[in-house]
Each structure stands twice: as C-alpha cells, then as structure tokens.
Structure 1
C-alpha cells in the first residue's frame, strides 16, 4: 500500500526537482527525503526518478505514479473540504424522514427556510411510519426524523433522542352538505353508521381504530384509500368520512369542512428524533421545526 504522505512527497520532489528543496518545503532533512523516496521506490517496484548531476526528474514510472498521485490527493482534498463543510452544518447531505401528514406543511415549511439559510445542504427526504423511521435513525440511515406517538406510544430506539414539537389534534372531515357540517364539535358516536376512509391494513395500530374504540363502537365499513388526496375526493363525494390531523388541514379542499371532536383526548404528540451525535445541519432543522408558526 502506498501511503498518502509518500504520494505527497513524490509530488513535491517532482515540483521542486530536488531532494534538498523538497526537504526545505516539507521541513524534513535531506537525508529523510532520500530515505522516504527510496522506500517509495521499493514499494513501487523500481526507480521513480532519474538522478541528475543537479537534481532529479521523474522517469516514465514516476510520471505514471505522479499522475495518479495528483488525482488521489485532489480527491482527498475535496473530501476534506466536504467533511469540514458537513461538520460545520453548512453543506453536505442531510437525510430527513417524516410521517405522511408531517410532509404536508410542517416539514416543507422548515426545509424551505433551511434552504435559504443553508443553501449548500442537500436534503434527501424519506416518508414512512414512525417505527420504521426510528429504526432507520438507529441504523444511521437518517439524520433526523419527525415522528408521532399516536396511538401506541413513541417507539424506543438505541442511540436516538426525541424532543416534543407540537400537539396534533384530530378532526373529522365532512362534505359541506353533511347533516353535521354545521356543528361546532362532533361526537364520533354520531358517525357510527358512516363509512370511514382509511389507509392502514393489517394489525398496525391506527388512529381511527383507537378513536372509535374510545367512542364505544367499531366502524361498520372501512374503505381503504392510501393517499390523502383520494380520501378527500371520496369524502367530498359523500362516500365516507375521515379523521384528519391538524397537520393536514392545509391540504383539505373547499368541498370539505373540518370539525373538532368532543373527545379532547383524540390527539397525538409530534416529536423530532435525532441520533445521539447529530449533524449541525440536523440541529438547525430541529430548531426550524420547533420555531413558532411551524406547528399545526
């Protein structure tokens, strides 16, 4: 293996054309330079310099290695600059995860400001369930995640810390002509006979199941719709009603109204999760997410 210091020495000797001048530039002794060059030539399998009456110059093997040395040293220099910028929070990649409704307004608003104040930070955004995001944080695949504790609590993950961002109240979305559209607040029991628009499958705990259980009933019919835009379309057509977090309120079309629920316990807490040793850019984004006006 050729050492980086040896490649740097090769470049300096080639530039100066002299072991003595290279030694002066690098604060080595002339004998130390001679020994290091000899060791490099042994590693390289043969001479790299022509020894001249006054100085040295690269031979064909030396010119070949010199070309590669310049490329390697340039890449290392660029890597050092990129790492320095990354650790100062001024640039580099930032991997950010969030659950779906946090990506409607909360996260994009903070990322817009981050782009303005840290233009060289490149964000890689990921959407997913809270438990998946926490696992990816623990694995080092994410630098920050916006997660929720509803309805089964915030999952723990090794090496991950969390901070509360905001409370996210649940509303019910109704078409404007619905019999309860004019109510100030709605008791879920009044909607027990409605079809419910919902996205989750399988045994995963859901906001809908928990809220209806609190109200003492099980939905008679659930229509599985994955995307929020489609849920809103079905609700506007009168095909069902849906629970909508306040984080998603900005995306609700005019054909629908949001009404509070009489059960004030139907809400969730939104957290920002970080690794134990977060990047400076991740800390900046955390502060922007927590800034007044970022929450619901």
Structure 2
C-alpha cells in the first residue's frame, strides 16, 4: 500500500523534473527525497524515474503510478474540501424528516429560508411518522427531524435529543352549512352524534378518543381516512367531521369551517429532534424552525 506522502512526492518530482527542486518545494532535504523515492520504487517493484545528469523524468512504470497518484490526490483534495464545507454548515447534504402536517406549512416555509441562507447545502426531505423518524435519526439516516407526541407520546431513540418547538392546538373542521359552523368556540359534546374522520386504526389509542372520553362520550362512528385531501372531501360532503391541527389550518378549503373547541381543545407538542453530534447545517435549520414558529 503506497503512502499518501510518497505519492505526493512522486507527483512533485515529476512536476519539477528534479529531486533538488522537489526538496525545495516540499521543504525536504535532497537526501530525504532520494531515500523516499528509492523506498517507493522498492514498493513499486522497480524504477519509476530515468536519471540524468541534470534531472529525472518518469519511465513507463512511473507514468502509470503517476496517473493513479494524481487521481488519488485529487480525490483526497475533494474530500477535504467537502468535509470543510460540511463542518462549516455551508455545503454537503442535509437530510431532514417531518410528520405529514408539519410538511404542509412549517417545513416548506422554514426550508425556503434555509435554502436562501445556505444555497450550497443540498436538502433531502422525507416524510414519516414520528417513531420512524426518531429511529432513522438514531441510525444516522437523518440529520434532523420534526416530530410530535401525538397520538401515543413522544417517541425516544438512543443518541437522539429533542426540544420543544411549539404547542399545536387541534381544531375541528365542519361543512359550511353545519349548524355549528358559525359558532365561536364549540363544546366538543355538541359533536357527540357526528361521524369522525381519522387516519389511525380504531384499535390504537387516539387523541380524539381520549378527548371524547374526557367529555363523557364515545364517538358514534369512526371513518378511517388517511390523507387530508380525503378528509376534507368527506367533510365537504357532510359525511363526517375531523380534527385539524393548527399546522394544517391554512390548507383547509374555503368551503369548510374551521372552529375552535373551547376548554376541551386537544393539543399536541411538536419537537425538533437532533442526533448527539448535529451538523452545523442542522443547527441552522433548528434556529430557523424556532424563528418560523416564534
């Protein structure tokens, strides 16, 4: 295995055509250059230079090794540069994840500001449930994630830290012609006879079920609809009502009414999660997330 310093010396001697000039450029003694080239030729299995009274030049074996040496040194230089910009937070790739409603407005707005401030960072964004995102952080597959404690509490993962980003109030969305659509704050108990749209299986604990239980009733009917567009369509058709987090409020169509739920309004906490040794670019994104919600 050839040492990097030996390959760098080979290239320098070839460029200068002289052991003496290479020694001056690299701040070596001429004898040190001669010894190291002799050692490199021994490793290579034979001479690499033709020696003349006024200098040296590469022989065919030397040309072959020189070509590879240049490629190796170029790659190392590129790696050094890439690591420098990554550690400065002004380059490389930043892999970020968020749960679905955070991707409606919070993440797009924040990432727009991030891209403007760090145009040389390549951002890769993915969507997933909070537990999956935390696990991907622990595995090193993500550099930052926005997660929540809904519906089953804040997930944890080894080597991943979290901090509170915001409190996210949940509203209820109704058809415009619903009898309560014009009300200010709705008492949840007034919706006890409604069909509720949700994306979680009914055999898992949900915030809706817990809030309804505190209000003293169980939802009459649950309709499982995963996507927000589907939920909004069902609500518009009068087939049910749905909880909508404030993060998704701006996406509610005009033909629907978004109403508060008064004292029984459910809330969830949104967190930003980072590995133990976060990238500078991830720390910048965290800063911008706080500015977005602040």
Same fold (TM over 0.5): yes
Is 1:38 aligned to residue 38 of structure 2?
A: yes
The alpha carbon displacement at 1:122 in A equals 1.0
Aligned partners of 1:289 and 1:295 also within 8 Å: yes
User: Structure 2 length normalisation: TM-score?
Assistant: 0.95
Q: Deviations over 1:155-209 (max 9, x none)?
A: 2222222221111000001010011111112222222222211112375443323
Structure 1 CA distance for aligned equivalents of residues 249 and 211 of structure 2: 18
Aligned partners of 1:247 and 1:295 also within 8 Å: no
Q: Moved runs in structure 1, 4+ residues, more than 6 A? A: none
SS in 2 for 1:152: coil
Q: Deviations over 1:93-122 (max 9, x none)?
A: 001111110111111111100111111111
Q: Which residue of 1 aligns with 2:136?
A: 136
Q: Which residue of 1 aligns with 2:100?
A: 100
Aligned partners of 2:98 and 2:147 also within 8 Å: yes
Is 1:214 aligned to residue 231 of structure 2?
A: no
Q: Which residue of 2 aligns with 1:277?
A: 277
Is 1:6 aligned to residue 27 of structure 2?
A: no
Q: Which residue of 2 aligns with 1:174?
A: 174
Higher mean alpha-carbon deviation, 149-158 vs 247-256, is at 149-158
Aligned partners of 1:134 and 1:145 also within 8 Å: yes
Aligned partners of 2:211 and 2:264 also within 8 Å: no
Higher mean alpha-carbon deviation, 252-261 vs 200-209, is at 200-209
Structure 2 CA distance for aligned equivalents of residues 55 and 26 of structure 1: 17
Q: Which residue of 2 aligns with 1:25?
A: 25
Q: Which residue of 1 aligns with 2:293?
A: 295
The alpha carbon displacement at 1:32 in A equals 1.3
Q: Which residue of 2 aligns with 1:186?
A: 186
Structure 1 CA distance for aligned equivalents of residues 104 and 60 of structure 2: 61
SS in 2 for 1:77: helix
Q: Which residue of 2 aligns with 1:76?
A: 76
SS in 1 for 2:243: strand
Distance 1:264 1:102, change over 3 A: same
SS in 1 for 2:174: strand
Structure 2 CA distance for aligned equivalents of residues 41 and 164 of structure 1: 61
Aligned partners of 1:192 and 1:219 also within 8 Å: yes
Q: Which residue of 2 aligns with 1:15?
A: 15
Q: Deviations over 1:215-262 (max 9, x none)?
A: 233323222222111211111111111100000001100011111112
Structure 2 CA distance for aligned equivalents of residues 277 and 264 of structure 1: 39
Structure 1 CA distance for aligned equivalents of residues 113 and 101 of structure 2: 19
Aligned partners of 1:151 and 1:210 also within 8 Å: no
User: Where does 1:219-230 land on structure 2 (aligned, <5 Å)?
Assistant: 219-230=219-230
Aligned partners of 1:50 and 1:59 also within 8 Å: yes
- Could you list the runs of 5+ residues in structure 1 that have no partner in the other structure? none
Q: Which residue of 2 aligns with 1:267?
A: 267
Distance 1:260 1:235, change over 3 A: same
Distance 1:295 1:205, change over 3 A: farther
Q: CA RMSD in A?
A: 1.6
